[in-house]
Amino acid sequence: MTLERKRQIATVAKYVVLILVGILMIYPLVWMIGASFKPNSEIFSSIGFIPKEPTVQGYKDAMNGYGGDIDIWKSMLNTYKIVIPKVILTIVSCTVTAYGFARFKFKGHDFLFALLMATLFLPNVVLNVPQFIMYNGWGWVDSPLYLPLIVPTLFAQDTYFVFMLIQFLRNIPRELDEAAKIDGCTALGTLWHVIVPCLKPAMTSAALFQFMWSSNDFMGPLLYVSTPKRYPAAIFVKMSMDADTGFSWNRILALSLISIVPSLVVFFIAQDQFIDGVTAGSVKG
């Protein structure tokens, strides 16, 4: 009886903790949605999220651009002009690299693999300055095609994804490759017909993470985009915040919210792949 009772209390306690943590996680976001529909005078007057006098003024104001060069829609379009090529190039280049490392022996394989692993832990902070100098020399800074942000992904430079794909590849039986070889597949054919279909879940995870990280990326565009009409949403929202805080919070909250809607939608559609992706890189390794 007492043991049973103790167990019940423990179970209730667990749910209470989990729900409290859940509220801490989600309430700021819920409040943000509510606040974006409040008049400015109401936003900081109560802790509740339901607007007393709902208004879409914040959203109306959010549509105003700056000097006609840039507004929220144009900036979001710019964001995806960066994000989509990055995602596609990352998937292709990282898959090819992972295939090369995981399935072949060649001269210098082990040394190069060690190098790859080392760059996984190479902090970006040492690269920012010299990369900027290099891109500046090439005339890539403020490039209309966002070259400094996109081109490195063509060369599989987001090592984390290469590593993640290698981890997955190790679990695909080599017999499949052998069979394809016997059937007359070339190395490239094997990659396309055998590896890619098996690797699809991992490739999806990598694509999703690259999508999120690139959409959120702030420092990249901060360094390499300086013309307002080319600002992605991250820079546009930051600029609006600097210009507006103190008087027009509903506008800036509405802007922020609009800018994260695509990420939220993608997350809700593909949440399981995210979770699988996070664990794949670490636990199996």
Partner 1 sequence: MSNSGTTSSPNNFWKENKGFVFIFPWLVGFLVFKGYPFLSSLIYSFSDYSLFEGISKWGIFNYIEVFTNKKIQTGFIITFKYAFMTVPLKLIFALFVAYILNFKIKGVKMFRTVYYIPSILGSSVAIAVLWKAIFKDDGIINMLLGFFGIAGPHWLSNKTAALFIICLLRVWQFGSTMVIFLAALKGVSPDLYEAASLDGAGKWRQFFTITVPMITPVIFYNLVTQLVQAFQEFNGPYIITAGGPRGATTLVSLLIYNNAFKKYAMGLASSQAWVLFIILMIFTAILQYSQKHWVYYSDEEA
Residues 200-239 that bind partner 1 (CB under 8 A): 212-213, 215-216, 218-219, 223, 233-235, 237-238
What is the spatial distance between Cα 142 and Cα 127, in angstroms, rounded to a whole number?
18
Whole-number minimum distance, CB 111 to partner 1, in Å? 11
Whole-number minimum distance, CB 245 to partner 1, in Å? 7
Whole-number minimum distance, CB 237 to partner 1, in Å? 5
181 binds partner 1 (CB under 8 A): no
57 binds partner 1 (CB under 8 A): no
Q: Which stretch binds partner 1 (CB under 8 A): 9-17, 50-58, 80-88, 171-179?
A: 9-17
**How many residues sit close enough to partner 1 to count as binding (CB under 8 A)?**
90
Determine contact, residues 259/231, Cβ cutoff 8 Å: no
Residues 21-40 that bind partner 1 (CB under 8 A): 21-22, 24-26, 28-29, 31-32, 35
Q: Which stretch binds partner 1 (CB under 8 A): 50-58, 60-68, 152-160, 197-205?
A: 152-160
129 binds partner 1 (CB under 8 A): yes
Whole-number minimum distance, CB 215 to partner 1, in Å? 7
Could you tell me the two tokens for 193? 């017909």
Could you tell me the two tokens for 27? 């309430």
63 binds partner 1 (CB under 8 A): no
DSSP letter string, 32-74:
HHHHTTS-HHHHTT-S--S-SS---HHHHHHT--BTTTB-HHH
